[in-house]
Structure 1
Amino acid sequence: MTAPTPPTPTRLPDVEVSAGPAAAVPVVVLTRTSADGTAQIGPGGADLAPEWAAAVGLTGKAGETHRGPVGSTVRWALGVGAGEPGNWRGAGAALARAANSHLENDPAAGDALQVEVPADVDADALGWFATGLRLGGYRYTVTAAEQAPRLRSVRLVVSERDRRERTAGALRRAAVLSSATALTRDLANTPSNVKDPAWLARAATKAAARIKDLSAQVHDEKWLAAQGFGGIIAVGGGSSRPPRLVHLSYEPAAATGPHIGLVGKGITFDTGGISIKPADGMHLMRTDMAGGAAVIAAVVAIARLGLPVRVTGLVPCAENHVSGSSYRPGDVVRHYGGKTTEITNTDAEGRIVLADALTYAHQDLGVDVLVDTATLTGAMKIALGTRVGGLFSNDDALAIRLTAAGAQAGEPLWRMPLLAHSAAEVPSDIADVRQCPPGPGSITAALFLREFTGGLPWAHLDIAGPARADRVYDDVVPGATGFAARTLVEFVASYVS
């Protein structure tokens, strides 16, 4: 019986801009930190007396939330710190979480809020604020319990017309970007008894439906076998739920610049195969398709924004399972395009399916630039932790562009080396390449993937660390984080002059 999963996409709060306040809607007053350590209280805070501020220990630091005084029109005092972009995102997220917690205890409190914005706050800051508001209260639960009310809408009061128009544009863009993050989370959080390769392919097709210039194709296991996608077939061969290849095409009539290929790992569950994983932590492998989810969500967002850049998204989807038909250590797999790989560890399956898709992208689809995204190696998580993605590239300009996109998206990337002496270990004695060359695991995985890029400008994002979280920070909540979706959108947007 199929689990009753929440509807996808998750409903996020609406954030809108208005010229004036609304009657009877609870007020949020913004506070900041000052040079002397005291809190500066923003517009609408006349009811926040110094005695109250002292009693609650008001500092104005980013994310600080306090309930307003009893009998006041102020529902919340919200700290935005020094007003840096990360402060605004964190403040919005903290407000969303505080509001949702309050509604759980008092469902009649009302699910709308309004904020009078200080005159010196620009549209970009409010875009970040909206991102935090929309994502900070995100929740994915599979339950029969009745859901408590959630924050539904936030009104930003901006009196000046020009600033209001700029803010409206920033909020529209933030809505698309935050929706991409949320969709990535939805897809990655879906339990794998529901989410098999066919389900993920249907979800991608549904997300892409009725968006101008965007089309979706799904190739099944028969097509993959007939066309020679030996890597995807091998990895998916141990499961009763066969693989798929999702192909998203965004082709705007006014496209300029390069044809960009985005490729994402879509392993809907990873047991490790015959090289089986330890039981501890295996339940988290429902998110092993987070890179593929980021590609799906990013291409949809790119199309929704109408960016004049041609983009192809490929997501090889497979379940890496254990059975008599599983691929084995010692096998030689023939990939799409003919190159062969000696298999040494069936738990290094992500690079095997990506190799097929990367080859297809440059050999048949005519892309000019390749970027792949994957929860690829535990070694990357050890190297960079859980909040920074690893970036590998054969092209300095591409690496710089992606690093800037990650910074713009609030998703930091750190460039890692492609070591020449490790590259010498990639060839195999029995096949063209070996799956797991000796050496530092994340670097050798990237060097393996480079063999399938056809010499194009290419970058590999290893997001094994930041794709999942076990605690709250910024706009992130425990579970799938949606990392890389916004980065990929910002990367494509960087080609728009």
Structure 2
Amino acid sequence: MRPPVPTPLIAIEVADTPRRGVGRVVLARPGEPPVLGPGGEDVEPTEEITGKAGTTHRRNGRWVLGVGEATPADWRTAGASLSRALQADAEQGGGTTFDVSVTDDTDVQAFVLGLLLGGYRYRVTGEDEPRRVKSLRLVGTTSPDEVREAVDLATATALTRDLANTPSDIKDPAWLATTAAKIAKTVPGLQVEVRDEKWLTREGFGGVLAVGAGSTRPPRLVHLTWNGATTGPHLVLIGKGITFDTGGISIKPADGMHLMRTDMAGGAAVIAAVTAIARRSLPIRVTALVPCAENHVSGTSYRPGDVVRHYGGTTTEVTNTDAEGRLVLADAMAYAVRNLKPDALVDVATLTGAMKITLGVRTGGLFATDDRLATQIAEAGERTGEAWWRMPLVEDLADDVKSDIADLRQCPPGPGGITAALFLREFTDGLPWAHLDIAGPARSDQNYAEVVSGATGFAARTLVELAEHYQA
């Protein structure tokens, strides 16, 4: 059975006093002996209870959860570990609702993110759905508004995971666009348009059409609009929506190709972020564009050596059909510049293996033409637990993007992440712009902190936080 989209998450409640007859969770911090929070008076201390972040133990009818030094990372780790432990216990017949005794200095956002995302699971199975934890109640001095904001961020992350994890036999461009539209229509004020291949042909989206030409499942463009303010800055978010990537004629190795169902993780993050922005009624204008295509191999596939004409007329010499992401982003960026009057552009994409090699799998690459925008993105990521590292736009390499037979060359030699960013910069018309390369952190092969194996949902929280605090 295929999981629903969006995945239901644990309900988080807030109360002043604990309930009778309900399992209780006590927080513990390192010390000699460890310092136990409210509800720990009856817990017998043992050597196993250290207070280390993420450790869980059952003692005297209580769960004891280590929160370490109570940094945001510790709180996320603690929440995720507790969620996993309680889920595992529930599957063996344990409880499905618990009270967690929090303290005044609990980092509510980080803790709730861990609680909701640590137990996330996406699995296509013929088995019955296992018994699951249904609700957790935070007992103590906790702001409901803080909890709601954290739930919104976690929901955006989980939706990004849902969309990226969905297998590509189900998820083609039409499915992604239709699903985005269905979700958007549940949020008052969030407008959505889905453009089909006929519209893309009329408008001249040559990059999207070329990439999608090898598939029997035609491309789409998702256009989401949130007008949360009548004046002020207009932020445009653009996400790569490649629903499966074979590499085309420049075909990928078989090892790892199955992970290319997540090659639209940037587009998923943009869809989820704008949905959360609208759900929270943030006072800002935000538009999202997600060009969706399947990069397949057939007799109609585009070829190395082809020249693609993008929206607006700029031409690109194709040198590698596996560098398809920048071609679809270029169309959407050119369209945004000409038609949407943005104050800033931010694109998000699983774009280059080079960035994965450069920064590993837990940090996103940040390129920007505007220092203020770059700082706001990095700070938004820091506040929400997503790490970014700013990369240089090396001007000495800028001329390498030029082509002898077209305006631009798709894949010039040199450092791949940087040259890809320099290519995209050609479509910004000088506007403040940031390019977020999430090839590394968009997926994981293991659980850590609030991250689970599979699609991680990376970038969605950063985008929501950026929109909430954005200053042009």
Distance 1:480 1:386 in 2: 12
Structure 1 equivalent of residue 330 of structure 2 = 355
The one-letter code sitting in structure 2 at the alignment partner of 1:144 is G
CA drift of 1:49 comes to 1.7
Is 1:46 the counterpart of 2:31? The answer is no
Distance 1:295 1:49 in 2: 48
Structure 2 equivalent of residue 121 of structure 1 = 105
Q: 1:31 touches 1:77 (CA, 8 Å); kept in 2?
A: yes
Q: 2:376 touches 2:470 (CA, 8 Å); kept in 1?
A: no
Distance 2:408 2:146 in 1: 47
The root-mean-square deviation of aligned C-alpha atoms, in Å, is 1.2
Deviation string for 1:431-470 (max 9, x for gaps)?
0000001110000000000001111000000000000000
Structure 2 equivalent of residue 82 of structure 1 = 69
Structure 2 equivalent of residue 185 of structure 1 = 161
Distance 2:102 2:218 in 1: 52
TM-score by length of 1: 0.93
CA drift of 1:257 comes to 2.8
TM-score by length of 2: 0.98
SS of aligned partner of 2:342: coil
Structure 2 equivalent of residue 290 of structure 1 = 265
The correspondence for 1:210, drawn from 182, 186, 196, is: 186
Structure 2 equivalent of residue 390 of structure 1 = 365
Distance 2:384 2:138 in 1: 22
Is 1:345 the counterpart of 2:314? The answer is no
CA drift of 1:84 comes to 1.0
Q: 1:308 touches 1:496 (CA, 8 Å); kept in 2?
A: no
CA drift of 1:256 comes to 4.3
Structure 2 equivalent of residue 65 of structure 1 = 56
The correspondence for 2:16, drawn from 14, 19, 22, is: 19
SS of aligned partner of 1:488: helix
Q: 1:389 touches 1:462 (CA, 8 Å); kept in 2?
A: yes
CA drift of 1:206 comes to 1.0
Deviates more, 1:424-433 or 1:256-265: 256-265
| Alpha-carbon distance change, 67 to 289 in structure 1, aligned in 2, over 3 angstroms | same
Q: How does 1:93-492 map to 2 (within 5 A)?
A: 93-104=80-91, 106-107=92-93, 109-118=94-103, 120-122=104-106, 125-158=107-140, 163-164=141-142, 167-252=143-228, 254-492=229-467
CA drift of 1:495 comes to 2.4
Identity %: 63
SS of aligned partner of 1:148: coil
Distance 2:190 2:239 in 1: 18
The one-letter code sitting in structure 2 at the alignment partner of 1:409 is T
Deviation string for 1:332-360 (max 9, x for gaps)?
00000000000000000000000000000
CA drift of 1:496 comes to 7.2
Distance 2:278 2:80 in 1: 26
The one-letter code sitting in structure 2 at the alignment partner of 1:83 is A
The unaligned stretches of length 5 or more in structure 2 are none
Deviation string for 1:132-184 (max 9, x for gaps)?
111100000000011211111111111xxxx44xx211000011110000000
Q: 1:208 touches 1:300 (CA, 8 Å); kept in 2?
A: yes
How many aligned positions are there? 472
The one-letter code sitting in structure 2 at the alignment partner of 1:197 is P
Q: 1:257 touches 1:495 (CA, 8 Å); kept in 2?
A: no
The unaligned stretches of length 5 or more in structure 1 are none
Q: 1:234 touches 1:326 (CA, 8 Å); kept in 2?
A: yes
Deviates more, 1:329-338 or 1:14-23: 14-23
The one-letter code sitting in structure 2 at the alignment partner of 1:64 is T
